[in-house]
Amino acid sequence: MKNLKKLITSPAVTIALFILASVLLLVSTIGGIRAAFQAISEIYSGQMQMHCIGVTLQEKCAGDEKPRAVAHRDHLENTADKWDEESLQLLAGADLETKKTDNSLFLGSDTEFKPGKAYTEELSVANTGNIEEYVRVTIYKYWVDPDGNKVFLNETDDEGNEIVKEKDKKGISTQGLSPALIKLNLTNSNVWLLDEKASTEERIVVYYNSVLAPGEDTSKTPLSDKLTIDRMVGDKVTKTVSDDGKTITTKYDYDGWQFCLEAVVDAVQNHNAKDAIKSVWGRDVNVDNKGMITLAD
């Protein structure tokens, strides 16, 4: 026993442990790189089985005959970590193929956005890689004030009183202008699973319940169909009446405010899906033998 203790506390054992840890770290690093090398070597052999993951966000508005690609990020073949990626503006009739924007595709004949009107906004996802994948989409909704500040909802305490934060003191406060006034109507809830735990007034998270094969898209079952800004945005009004009572100036409190819609699509490999989704997205899911996923509680 005494010899064992002496052995453990000896400098030689300590140094050996340190060297072992260093080797383990190096081996784990080499393992990751080796996976990329293997994939590249397949291209050299002519088998064209390079594993490239890619995803594209698509939009279809009232003026579109087919969905347009507005953002994509695809892994480039024969590279370890190079990506073909581009992002254009949403709700502006932007097209990655033509590199042009055409607001009339979204607005139609309107010269400006009309609160209350439901505009067609079909969001879908395409697999532009060469491996099967699972996808999810996160929608962020928020307002930007005329000074360009992104505004946040005030938090409330248990009694419903607003908690004033430092940022509010700088004038960044919605004061009743809620992201809920930006209404993106979700559709096809049978295939787009709403993650109620992760969704809030400002954020919507939906998971496509099936594997998306290379070249396939979800345009036949888009996750949304209409976008509306609630007319309540015009409810807060300041009127100024001249002293003679003859001139009435009406100023809307939220004149000049901008609504913003942001869509982020994430994709992950379908191989070892349960662990991959947990690891990359942090979400527990169940995967059946047909590859259909359901959200775990």
Partner 1 sequence: MDKHMEKKRKWEALRTGLLTAAAVMLVMSALMGTAWAYFSTYASAKGGYTLHMGHEEKVEEDFNSWQKVINIKSTANPKDSRPVYIRARGFCPDYEITYECEKWAQPEGDDWVYYQDVLPPGETADPLKVQIKDVPSGENSGIQDADSFNVIIVYETVEIQYDESGNLIPPEKADWNRKLQTYRTGSGTTATETSGSDEDAAENTEGAGGEN
CB of 211 to partner 1, least distance (A): 14
Q: How far is the CB of 235 from partner 1 (least distance, A)?
A: 5
230: its two tokens: 């609630």
Least separation in angstroms between residue 277's CB and partner 1 is 9
For partner 1, the closer of residues 155 and 262 by Cβ is: 262
- As measured in angstroms, the least distance from the Cβ of 107 to partner 1 is 8
Quote the DSSP letter at residue 184: E
Helix (H, G, I), strand (E, B) or coil at 70: strand
Looking at residue 121, the DSSP 8-state letter turns out to be -
Determine phi and psi for 11, rounding to 5 degrees: -55, -35
**Closer CB to partner 1, residue 27 or residue 158?**
27
The amino acid at 256: G
Dist CA 160 CA 174 (whole Å): 16
Q: If DSSP codes are grouped into helix, strand and coil, which group holds residue 68?
A: strand
Closest CA to 72 of 48, 45, 99, 108: 99
| Pick from 200, 199, 191: nearest CA to 223 | 191
By beta-carbon proximity to partner 1, the closer residue of 39 and 295 is 39
Q: Which CB atom, from 141 or from 192, has the smaller least distance to partner 1? A: 141
The two structure tokens encoding residue 123: 């969001």
Nearest by Cα to 277 from 261, 293, 290, 264: 293
| Residue nearer to partner 1 on the CB measure, 35 or 180 | 35
3-state class (DSSP) for residue 20:
helix
Structure tokens belonging to residue 151: 């505004």
Nearer to partner 1, 25 or 292 (CB): 25
- The owner of tokens 């994709």 is 267
Nearer to partner 1, 116 or 165 (CB): 116
Closer to partner 1 by Cβ: residue 53 or 295: 53
Q: How far is the CB of 59 from partner 1 (least distance, A)?
A: 8
Least distance between partner 1 and beta carbon 178 (Å) = 14
For residues 73 and 52, what is the distance between their CA atoms, to the nearest angstrom? 11
Residue with tokens 């087919």: 66
Whole-number minimum distance, CB 121 to partner 1, in Å? 10
Q: What are the tokens at 92?
A: 């502006």
Tokens of 148: 């360009």
Which amino acid appears at position 207 of this protein? Y
At its nearest, how many Å lie between partner 1 and the CB of residue 122? 14
